[in-house]
Amino acid sequence: MTWIWNNSPALPVVLLLPTAIAIPLFALIERRLARWLALAVSLTTVGLSILNLVKALSLGPIHYHMGGWPPPIGIEYVLDPLSAFVLLVINTIGFLVLVHAKKVVDREIPESGKHVPYYAVAVLMLCGFNGIVATGDFFNLYVWLEIASLSLYGLIAIGSRKAPVAAIRYLILGTIGACFYLLGLGFLFTMTGTLNMADLKAILPAVGHEPAVVIGLGLIVVGMGLKMALFPLHGWLPDSYTYAPSTSSALIAPIGTKVGAYVLIRVLFFIFGAAYVSRTIPVTTVIGWLAAAGILYGSIMAMAQTELKRMLAYSSIAQVGYIGLGIGLANPLGLIGAVLHVMNHAAMKALLFLAAGNFRAVLGHSDISRLDGSTRRRMPWTTAAFAVGALSMIGIPPLAGFFSKWYLALGAVAKKQWVFLAVILLSSLLNAVYFFRVIERIYFARAESTAAAPRTEASASMLVPVLVLAAALIGLGVLNAFIVKGVIGKIVTSAMF
């Protein structure tokens, strides 16, 4: 037990990496082992994340020195409340999606030879994300970022006929993003001579005025903006999410963009500090306005879509905008909103994409225009969960989505940014337009055929994660004060405002 206790910061990564490699090997013995291995390791990481969060909250930041070398020479893994919290979100969603994956993988990935690689790559992606969030070293972060991104490209390309095109587009843009990050890091490194986050933070005040530092910061922000699909750097997102298999979309959409947001939050508010990024150089102001534009753009584009997954993809652009807006506000309330929305949006988007996956699995399509009353009769639970997710996206209290908007609105008021406030509120209405369009069809459109459709609900493995997420949305909404006070409050106090 003490062994787990001592090594818990590194264990998720340490366990996920070999599992990703072992999955194909074990699958040679028995193909079903692939899924069970992935589930087992994913569940373990969830447990470890809970442990880490408890540790980080009660004992303060945990530092883990890889290889026993203390920083700045060695690479350290740091779990402060922010990273522990984001890790818990990522791993929980990852586990739920993997539970859901079985039938979708069978159905949407036609060649059965790709099923085992799917699990391997998914676990590798989770490993990458765990590494990104847990590491306290900027270059290590880059390596994990590329591991995660490469897995993402694979997960997307595994999908429909057009998926590889979407994947290559994502690959090119994603690599540009990573290169920008690396370049920006190069500038910071030449100015400070260190790659360790804490070390860099200590040295920065001395060189903060240098143009090289400013350029470096700008490049990192652009690079991460690409990774998190911040408007107008979102070009890769819609096709990727649409053509990827539903289970991949459900894995990528809630987690993938959040990691970019995490890195931005980390760099802006924990390394540079709010004063620097909002006053010395108005980075956050730019992010805020871009995010506001992105919210409107994403919402409006979502209204124009006829395919459910594509609609959700555009909605993701808008939702990422919320996080960007919270970052752009550069005040504690905005940060609360942003971090809370990282969690809430992860849960909401996972739920919606999984529900879309259920539609595809049962109905064979996810065209909004072909959904009707029979959908509800055939799959009452999935549709009910979808409705909960949609209402949460719109921001109906007491569901989770309302509260991230609430804190963002408070942040906007505190900053007297009336335009941002208006954008947050307007986007609620736009969300309502495109989600009620779907709800209306599912619940109130008369079925084409009057014959009573048999109840053909998705199988248990697909239904349980969806229902768990739906319940979570209610729970996270009602109990958000506990999370905000207990966890996010600590994150905010450790940020540099």
Partner 1 sequence: METTFPSLIPLLAVSVSLAAVPLILLSSSRPNLREFWTLAAALAKFGLVLALLPQVLTGRVAEARLFELAPGIRLALKADPAGVFFALVASGLWILTSVYNIGYMRGLGERRQTRYYAAFAVCLSATIGVAFAANLLTFVLFYEILTVATYPLVIHKETDEAVRAGRKYLVYTLTAGVLLIAATALTWQTAGRLEFVPGGFLAATTLSARTVKALFILFLAGVGVKASIMPLHGWLPTAMVAPTPVSALLHAVAVVKSGVFGIIRVTGFVFGPRLMAELGLNAVLAGFAAATILLASLLAFREDNLKRRLAYSTVGHLSYIALGAALLAPAALAGGILHLAFHATLKITLFFCAGAIYVNLHKEKISEMDGIGKVMPWTMGAFTVGAIGLAGIPPLNGFVSKWYLGLGSLQAGRAFALVLLVLSGLLNAGYFFPIVRRAFFRNGSLPAHAKEASPALVIPLLVTAGLSLGLGLYPDLFFRFFRLASAAAASVFGGPGS
Partner 2 sequence: MMRRDDDAIISLVSRTVSPFIMIFALYVIFHGHYSPGGGFQGGTMLAAALILVRLAAGSDLSQLQFPRSWATPLGSAGVLIYWGTGFVSMLCGGNFLNYAFLPVSGPPPHHRNLGILFIEVGVGLAVMGILTAIYDDLLEGHPRD
Partner 3 sequence: MTTSWKDIPVTKFLLGHYGYWFVFILMTLGFYGMVVKKNLVKKLIGMNIFQVAIIMFYLSSAGKWKATIPIVDPAIGTADTARYIDPLQHCLMLTAIVVGVATSGVAYALLITIYKRFGTLHEDELIERMKNDLDME
Residues at the site binding partner 2, with contacts judged by CB under 8 A: 3, 7, 10, 14, 17-18, 21-22, 24-25, 64-68
Compute the CA torsion angle 404, 408, 414, 419 (nearest 10 deg).
-150
The candidate with the shortest Cα–Cα distance to 406, out of 294, 284, 286, 488, is 488
Stretch that binds partner 3, among 5-13, 159-167, 371-379, 433-441 (CB under 8 A): 159-167
Size of the site for partner 1 (CB under 8 A): 36
What is the spatial distance between Cα 212 and Cα 206, in angstroms, rounded to a whole number? Answer: 13
| Shorter beta-carbon distance to partner 1: residue 164 or 373 | 373
The binder of 397, among partner 1, partner 2, partner 3, none, by C-beta within 5 to 8 A per type, is: partner 1
Query: Which residue type sits at 327?
Result: I
Q: Taking the complex as a whole, how short is the minimal distance between the CB of residue 449 and partner 2, in angstroms?
A: 44
The candidate with the shortest Cα–Cα distance to 239, out of 225, 253, 251, is 253
* Span 364-393, contacts to partner 1 by CB under 8 A: 373, 391
Assign 367 to helix, strand or coil. strand
What is the spatial distance between Cα 229 and Cα 130, in angstroms, rounded to a whole number? Answer: 20
* Whether the Cβ atoms of residue 214 and residue 204 lie closer than 8 Å to each other: no
The candidate with the shortest Cα–Cα distance to 43, out of 12, 18, 22, is 12
What is the spatial distance between Cα 106 and Cα 162, in angstroms, rounded to a whole number? Answer: 19
Read off the tokens for 225: 């903006």
| Shorter beta-carbon distance to partner 3: residue 176 or 426 | 176
| Shorter beta-carbon distance to partner 1: residue 365 or 485 | 485
Q: Taking the complex as a whole, how short is the minimal distance between the CB of residue 341 and partner 1, in angstroms?
A: 14
Which residues, other chains included, contact 66 with Cβ-Cβ below 8 Å and sequence gap of 6+? 10, 74, 75, 76, 77
Q: Taking the complex as a whole, how short is the minimal distance between the CB of residue 394 and partner 3, in angstroms?
A: 28
Q: Establish if 435 lies at the interface with partner 1 (CB under 8 A).
A: no
The binder of 18, among partner 2, partner 1, partner 3, none, by C-beta within 5 to 8 A per type, is: partner 2
* Whether the Cβ atoms of residue 96 and residue 465 lie closer than 8 Å to each other: yes
- Using CB under 8 A, which of 4, 32, 40, 162 touches partner 3? 162
Residue-level length of the chain: 497
The distance from CA 217 to its chain's CA centroid, rounded to whole angstroms, is: 22
Read off the tokens for 148: 């995660």
Read off the tokens for 382: 């999935």
* Whether the Cβ atoms of residue 135 and residue 128 lie closer than 8 Å to each other: no
What is the spatial distance between Cα 340 and Cα 335, in angstroms, rounded to a whole number? Answer: 8
| Shorter beta-carbon distance to partner 3: residue 176 or 396 | 176
Q: Establish if 443 lies at the interface with partner 1 (CB under 8 A).
A: yes
The binder of 182, among partner 2, partner 3, partner 1, none, by C-beta within 5 to 8 A per type, is: partner 3
Q: Positive or negative CA dihedral for 105, 106, 110, 112? A: positive
Q: Establish if 419 lies at the interface with partner 1 (CB under 8 A).
A: no
- Using CB under 8 A, which of 165, 203, 281, 421 touches partner 3? 165
DSSP per residue over 274-293, as a string?
HHIIIIIS-HHHHHHHHHHH
| Shorter beta-carbon distance to partner 1: residue 250 or 424 | 424
Q: Establish if 485 lies at the interface with partner 1 (CB under 8 A).
A: yes
The binder of 413, among partner 3, partner 2, partner 1, none, by C-beta within 5 to 8 A per type, is: partner 1
The binder of 65, among partner 2, partner 3, partner 1, none, by C-beta within 5 to 8 A per type, is: partner 2
Size of the site for partner 3 (CB under 8 A): 27
* Whether the Cβ atoms of residue 344 and residue 476 lie closer than 8 Å to each other: yes
- Using CB under 8 A, which of 54, 73, 207, 413 touches partner 1? 413
Q: Establish if 164 lies at the interface with partner 1 (CB under 8 A).
A: no
Q: Which residues bind partner 3 (CB under 8 A)?
A: 108, 139, 142-143, 146, 150, 153-154, 157, 160-162, 164-165, 167-168, 171-172, 175-176, 179, 182-183, 186, 189-190, 195
Q: Which residues bind partner 1 (CB under 8 A)?
A: 373, 391, 394-398, 402-403, 405-407, 409-410, 413-414, 421, 425-426, 428-429, 432, 436, 440, 443-446, 478-482, 484-485, 489
